[in-house]
């Protein structure tokens, strides 16, 4: 397995001896870009069956096939953690999605707040970024990226058994606050827009029984930095780190 340096996410079921036909873009990447030949080894995962070592059995310019040899890792599900964030500039939104996938978010949910900079996103492009991040970081699960929803509507439909972390720069003592809520299994983190939350949004969030308010420190963080900081804090306190 030492020569299997490329990981590829596929949609087909994986099992020992299973042959996996490749889509045209996958064949182009493996054989046109990476210059793999028949007999080369690739690591495959699909988000359901763990990771498999596979061998190239057909290599063409527009098509190809791989055969699964053996399972190398079982499926490792992330903690039941959602990340909610207000989209910002394109490159920084991409960064948030990539880091959320790398750091173990199970679902990534763009939300529209009063001061959200952009209310239009391309879910397919963001989902592709999440997939690529999982390929590169060794993950066996790809988090779902949902379409953007208004924050108010999302909060009105919120499941009562899921705690929502509201990152509030006016507070202190984040780790102690999270440890006090350690009995909960389902969580979500909410990161606001560059302009912050409106007074109405802050009041509504503060009044909801499922909301846990925490601070990310004495400095005001950019939205993309705040997402990484909050994910790190949760993972190191309540997650699988």
The pTM of the full predicted model, rounded to 2 decimals, is: 0.89
pLDDT at 204: 95
Tell me which of 54, 73, 92 is where a domain ends: 73
> Could you tell me if residue 184 is inside a domain?
yes
**Residue 187: CB partners within 8 Å, gap ≥ 6?**
79, 80, 81, 82, 162, 163, 164, 165, 234, 238
Residue recorded with tokens 């949609």: 11
The total of structural domains in the chain comes to 2
pLDDT at 181: 77
Tell me which of 73, 107, 129 is where a domain ends: 73
pLDDT at 183: 80
Neighbour-count burial of 186, counting CB atoms closer than 10 A to its CB (0-12 exposed, 13-18 middle, 19+ buried): middle
Q: How far is CA 70 from the centre of its chain?
A: 27
Would you state the structure tokens that stand for residue 41, as one six-digit string?
A: 């080894």
Give residue 17's domain range.
7-73
Tell me which of 24, 54, 73 is where a domain ends: 73
CATH classification at residue 161: 3.40.1280.10
Same domain, 174 and 203: yes
The residue among 46, 45, 194, 56 whose CA lies nearest residue 114 is 194
**Residue 93: CB partners within 8 Å, gap ≥ 6?**
87, 110, 118, 121, 126
pLDDT at 228: 96
> Could you tell me if residue 1 is inside a domain?
no
Contact of 9 with 142, CB cutoff 8 Å = yes
Bridge-based pairing state of the strands 41-45 and 51-59: antiparallel
Per residue of the chain (241 residues), what is the pLDDT tens digit?
Answer: 457 889 999 999 999 999 999 999 999 999 999 999 999 999 999 999 999 999 999 998 889 999 999 999 999 999 999 999 999 988 999 999 999 999 999 999 999 999 998 778 999 999 999 999 999 999 999 999 999 999 999 999 999 899 999 987 655 556 777 877 778 889 999 999 888 899 999 999 999 999 998 888 888 889 999 999 999 999 999 999 8
């Amino acid at each position: 397995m030492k020569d299997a340096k490329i990981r590829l996410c596929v949609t087909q079921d994986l099992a020992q001896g299973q042959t996996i036909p490749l889509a045209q873009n996958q064949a182009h990447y493996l054989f046109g870009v990476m210059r793999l030949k028949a007999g080369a080894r690739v690591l495959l995962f699909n988000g359901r069956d763990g990771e498999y070592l596979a061998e190239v059995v057909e290599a063409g310019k527009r098509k190809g096939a791989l055969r699964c040899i053996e399972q190398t890792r079982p499926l490792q599900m992330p903690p039941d953690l959602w990340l909610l964030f207000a989209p910002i500039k394109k490159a920084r939104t991409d960064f948030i999605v990539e880091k959320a996938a790398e750091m173990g978010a199970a679902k990534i949910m763009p939300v529209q707040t009063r001061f959200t900079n952009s209310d239009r996103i391309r879910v397919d492009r963001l989902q592709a970024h999440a997939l690529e991040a999982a390929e590169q970081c060794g993950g066996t699960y790809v988090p779902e990226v949902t379409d953007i929803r208004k924050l108010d509507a999302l909060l009105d439909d919120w499941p009562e058994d899921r705690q929502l972390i509201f990152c509030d720069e006016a507070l202190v003592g984040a780790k102690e606050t999270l440890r006090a809520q350690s009995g909960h299994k389902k969580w979500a983190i909410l990161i606001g827009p560059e302009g912050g939350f409106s007074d109405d949004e802050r009041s509504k969030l503060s009044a909801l029984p499922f909301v846990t308010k925490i601070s990310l420190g004495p400095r005001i963080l950019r939205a993309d930095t705040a997402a990484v900081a909050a994910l790190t804090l949760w993972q190191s306190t309540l997650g699988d780190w």
